Structure 1
Amino acid sequence: MCYDISFSTTIEMVTDYLPGLVLDPQLGLDYNMNRHFQIREEKSYPIIICHDGIRALTPLKWGIEVAPGIVSFNAQSERILNDKKSRWYRRRNSRCLIPVTGIYEHREIKGWKKKVPYYVKLKNRSLFCIPGLYSASQNSFALITRPGNDIMRQIHNSGDNPYRMPLFLADKQLEERWLASDLQEAEMEAILDYELPSENMEYYPVHTIRTQKERPDKKQKDEPFNWPDLPPLGKDSNELSLF
């Protein structure tokens, strides 16, 4: 599951990335900061939707209520077209893009009391978009995930639905096609099946992110942090008891 995303950019950079975006009047400029968004936050997140051929940047909350009291934050790519009884199949035409500068995922290491957070982003891209689905009636969205590639399986190695990752796409053209009103199911399936090669990602450990406290080194949440005795990826049997 993906529960943490980074938006350390400005609204202007998003509109430069996808020219012609219409800005929702409700969208404040308080997003222009180094933000770490979590699913439990009540604040809305800037999401790109397309309605009647017009692409707009609008604030939506993370998480779609799929049943009374049940909220889904992630939509599994495999169910959007292949499970015609699923809630995601019914929402397949309510597509959106989630602009991010990166995401966070946690790695479990045997013998460590707490998981180690990693920051993951696409190489050579300061801003990119993750496909999602949205609910107009709830003003909310869900981020699409898929089975993880080799690196993400080693990072996201425990917890709810382990070994998965967001649906990272290769380039902006694929992202824009996700919004296209003329997108056919065959092309949609190809996008949903896409697996980003591990070599196209940049990733590194960061300090604890789910806290309001300042890092001990005074750096931003998305900057690298050197954890003493951190074993390499794939070597998760370290028996040290840390933290």
Structure 2
Amino acid sequence: MKEHRGIATGLLAAMLWLGTAWSGDARADAASGATQSPDSVRAVAEQAVREHYALPGSRVVVSSAPLDLRLHLAACREPLRAVIPQYAAASSRMTVRVQCPQDGGWTVRVPLKLQLFRSVLVASRPLQRGDGLSAADVRAEEKDVTRLGYGYIEDLGQVAGRTLARSLASGSVLSPGALGGRRMVRAGDHVEMVARLDGIEVRAAGVAMGSGDNGARLRVRNESSGKVVDAMVSAPGVVVALP
């Protein structure tokens, strides 16, 4: 009888051990069947974009669409990692890769919509080609720069000495392409005044009372007579008196 009880006790212990082992395997299988929440993947992508474009003076608005419901991702034991190229240009629509960095991990591309608001300069009044720019000519407005395909100007210091290469309507965003070369004439410059009438040309010294590039109109004071006339810039330091 003792021998039978010993065998029974051994079998019971073996059964208990096997039961414990089976239980652990079941938990492992359950864990391996766990899936990663699509919302957690989207959240990582969105946060990475916010941090990437969070420059001083910027306001970032980013959103992602729900991922494909047919997508089943194994739960990642490591923190998810979003990959954004260092010099990626801000675009209203972009795709961010989110990786599970563990062995045998996965990569998902998350489509995003981005709005990047910054304070940019716009024309505060209609401006003409050849006009120089001053603080009175522009004002700051918050714009989504992802939609400004021609670029933008944030500070008046960026256009110091420049003139407009084309006319701008009031409220137009000031872009690098709208700027011409440096001003050929600045206010206070000593210029050569040229007056033409019936084939006769007369030259005199004058002082510019405004600034402008080739073709810009400005006022000029004749140094000899003190008379102020309207003139047009024709070359660096040269203006032509207008009739």
TM-score (norm 2): 0.21
TM-score (norm 1): 0.21
Larger radius of gyration: 2
Q: Which has the bigger relative contact order, CA under 8 A and spacing at least 6? A: 1
